[in-house]
A and B are shown apart, each in its own frame.
Chain A
Amino acid sequence: QKEVEQDPGPLSVPEGAIVSLNCTYSNSAFQYFMWYRQYSRKGPELLMYTYSSGNKEDGRFTAQVDKSSKYISLFIRDSQPSDSATYLCAIQNTNAGKSTFGDGTTLTVKP
């Protein structure tokens, strides 16, 4: 079993829709939770990070962590065509300083 499992997609939604992207993890030692966005033919870039259970909001994006269920989500409100990208969850054990990535979910937002 992989340490991080991500909903595979691909996902295609109309502009303005609410998008939910999800990952589960198996190791309770993980303490930092990150979402990276990767546009086509580009490197990943950090979108959001959080370290506690609950919600963290940044504009149209909300990261949600449920440590009891080992489940993390990224919600995108009022999705835009510019949100079309691959989204990668990444989870980190603070002692290791390394991140373990999910396989990514490719999102297409159609105008």
Chain B
Amino acid sequence: NAGVTQTPKFQVLKTGQSMTLQCAQDMNHEYMSWYRQDPGMGLRLIHYSVGAGITDQGEVPNGYNVSRSTTEDFPLRLLSAAPSQTSVYFCASSSPGQGKNIQYFGAGTRLSVL
């Protein structure tokens, strides 16, 4: 019962470095999303995907890229890390049914950019 798995759990980057946050789900969910969570600001949507090969921007997409080549995986790429990207990142998956979209979240990746 793995659910949504995020790696790594922690990461420290220097300004300008690039990296990829991994997300995998084993529930055969069509929808996958990336959020960032900053203190007092709740969850803000970065990018989302409604199926393999289909992605779209959320509320705060600048500085991030995504792709979805398989149903299971939805990696998030930071192109050139900035201190403003210090945050906790959550990946979520869901399978909309009967209109509702209940999301299942991973445990998060804590990223610090120095």
**B-contacting residues of A (Cβ < 8 Å)?**
6, 8, 31-32, 34, 41-46, 49, 51, 88, 90, 92, 94, 97-99, 101-104
Taking A43-B106, A45-B105, A97-B31 as contacts, is the C-beta distance between A103 and B41 under 8 angstroms? Answer: yes
CB distance from A28 to the nearest CB of B (A): 16
Q: Are A102 and B42 in contact (CB under 8 A)?
A: yes
**8 tightest A-B contacts by CB?**
A43-B105, A103-B42, A94-B99, A101-B43, A32-B100, A101-B42, A97-B101, A97-B96
B48 at the interface (CB under 8 A from A): yes
Q: How far is the CA of A101 from the CA of B45 in the complex (A)?
A: 9
Q: Report B's interface with A, CB cutoff 8 A.
A: 4, 31, 33, 35, 40-43, 45, 48, 50, 58, 90, 92, 94, 96, 99-108
Q: Which of B45, B48, B101 has the most CB of A within 10 A?
A: B101
Instruction: Verify B45–A98 contact, CB threshold 8 A.
Output: yes
Check if B96 sits within 8 Å of A46, measured CB to CB.
Answer: no
Given A44-B43, A51-B99, A51-B100, are A98 and B48 neighbors across the interface (CB < 8 Å)?
Answer: yes
Closest to B94 in A: A97
A26 to B100, CA, bound (A): 19
* Inter-chain contacts of B50 with A (CB < 8 A): 97
In the bound complex, CA of A104 to CA of B100 (Å)? 21
